Amino acid sequence: MFPYIPHTEEDIKFMLETLGMKDLEELFADIPKEVRMNRELDLDAPKSELEVQRLMKSLTDKNTSTDEMICFLGAGAYDHYIPSVVKHVTGRGEFYTAYTPYQAEISQGTLQVIFEFQTMIANLTGMDLSNASMYDGSTATAEAAAMAADATRRKEILISETVHPETREVLDTYAHFNGLQIKTVPMADGVTDVEQLKGMVSKETAGVIIQTPNFFGIIEEVEEVEKLIHEVKGLLIMNVDPMSLGILKSPGELGADIVVGEGHAMGNPMSYGGPYLGFMAATTKLMRKMPGRIAGQTTDHDGNVGYVLTLQTREQHIRREKATSNICSNQALNALAALVYMSILGKKGMKAVAEQSYRKAHHTMEKLEAIGYKKVYDKPFFKEFLVEAPKDPADINKTLLEQGILGGYEVGKHYPDLKNGLLFCVTEKRTLDEIDLLVKGLEVAK
């Protein structure tokens, strides 16, 4: 007997009799013999809940979580605080055991959640509209590139070298298959080299992708980029950290056409890299080019306000090969977590978290400079910064780990010129004592 299969032996017997069958085998008699399995699956025997819990405990015992280490690692996955209320909402079976809201009358909960998520993402980014979410920040960026190409009928995408290396790798993969031409805009002094960009934009350019704060935590100067790309009637695609938008000028104000980003830090645990959520916002002009689900407000025959999935003629289940994207399932539950996070923090809280992260990161950097870890770039940054390690950064991280500290990201993997670069991240969660421990650890390590 299995806890999730309710059939008694008697039930099975009765149902087979009803069907005029003598055994379960008859249900599978239509399967050609040569493709029937002639043995049992080679998997473990079933386990009780208690045994499964023990097994999982034995696995988690082999991991060291960020509860046991002080985390100064970021680079795309961030240790921000998650208010308790988030999991109590996402843990409601009414939310997490529902499917995509295709039957609107009994899915008003999910549909209104999407509508409110769209509202807050649009407002945070300063854009006209948002969709219901994408798989993650990297695929959202690749989708934005395809969307820009579709909207401009051009094939060339420029992407800054300061965009997260994994995002650029994902874009390269997508582009190899969908026929986009990707050119990388080199960086200079830790930011996008606008002089080089000037020579690269042309009437062939569908869009330029800028990440800000960029991979090194530096806030990019977007104004010049915006002018250059709009002069050639291409689109400005901005990849942003939503946690920075409590204090930074919104992409909408900066003239972005499409805004994407990784939203996990709003209420979702790091969970070894997933599930996260990508978000995508855009101008009204691009509404019908958006991939993915969008909820809209409407009324029923009695005039009651309700929500439905709308503009569905963009989507694969209606348009099949003519759809704007193949995306179907997105990251709805992660988007719900992000929505609850934005609701509970609100306009003041998003600002406060951003300010505290900013201050703690700057405080940390000053302390590191004082003990001889030079900052690599002297540019405005948010919560991450790059320092030059006095020796192999891997050795330094090893020493830190021995003291229970999860150190910085070794950027040399992706930027050979920065082989001693260590990218540290400091969120509002870190205390001044923890920062002192990092400083001590780095002193010992150097």
Q: In angstroms, what is the minimal distance from the CB of 439 to another protein?
A: 15
Instruction: List binders of another protein among 87-126 (CB under 8 A).
Output: 87-89, 91-101, 103-110, 112-113, 115-116, 118-120, 122-124, 126
Q: Residues 178-217: x/- map of binding to another protein (CB under 8 A)?
A: xx--------------------------------------
Instruction: List binders of another protein among 337-396 (CB under 8 A).
Output: 340, 342-353, 355-356, 358-360, 362-363, 380-381
The Cα–Cα gap between 158 and 179 comes to: 14
The Cα–Cα gap between 21 and 32 comes to: 19
Q: In angstroms, what is the minimal distance from the CB of 294 to another protein?
A: 6
The Cα–Cα gap between 149 and 204 comes to: 10
Q: How many residues bind another protein (CB under 8 A)?
A: 204
Token pair in block for residue 280: 């995508």
Q: In angstroms, what is the minimal distance from the CB of 232 to another protein?
A: 23
Q: Judged by CB under 8 A, which of 200, 204, 255, 270 binds another protein?
A: 270
- In the bound state with another protein, the residue whose beta carbon lies nearer, of 88 and 183, is 88
Q: In angstroms, what is the minimal distance from the CB of 158 to another protein?
A: 19
Instruction: Tell me which residue of 109, 129, 125, 151 sits closest to 311, measured CA to CA.
Output: 129
What type of residue sits at position 396? I
- 424 forms part of the interface with another protein (CB under 8 A): no
- 439 forms part of the interface with another protein (CB under 8 A): no
Would you say 121 and 130 are in contact if contact means Cβ atoms under 8 Å apart? Answer: yes
The DSSP annotation for 26-42 comes to GGGTTS-GGGS--S---
- 436 forms part of the interface with another protein (CB under 8 A): no
Burial 140-150 (b: 16+ CB within 10 A, else e): bbbbbbbbbbe
Q: In angstroms, what is the minimal distance from the CB of 61 to another protein?
A: 7
Q: Judged by CB under 8 A, which of 195, 223, 395, 402 binds another protein?
A: 223
| Residue corresponding to tokens 């998997």 | 43
Phi and psi at 349, nearest 5°, equal -70, -40
Q: Judged by CB under 8 A, which of 316, 388, 419, 440 binds another protein?
A: 316
- In the bound state with another protein, the residue whose beta carbon lies nearer, of 232 and 439, is 439
| Residue corresponding to tokens 């090893």 | 398
Token pair in block for residue 143: 């989708």
Length of the chain: 446
Query: Cis peptide leading into 390, omega within 30 of 0?
Result: no
Q: Residues 18-57: x/- map of binding to another protein (CB under 8 A)?
A: xx----x-xxxxxxx-xxxx--xxxxxxxx-x--xx-xxx
Residue 157 is inside which H or E element, if any? strand 156-160
- In the bound state with another protein, the residue whose beta carbon lies nearer, of 29 and 199, is 29
Segment lying near another protein (by CB under 8 A), choices 150-158, 164-172, 228-236, 436-444? 164-172
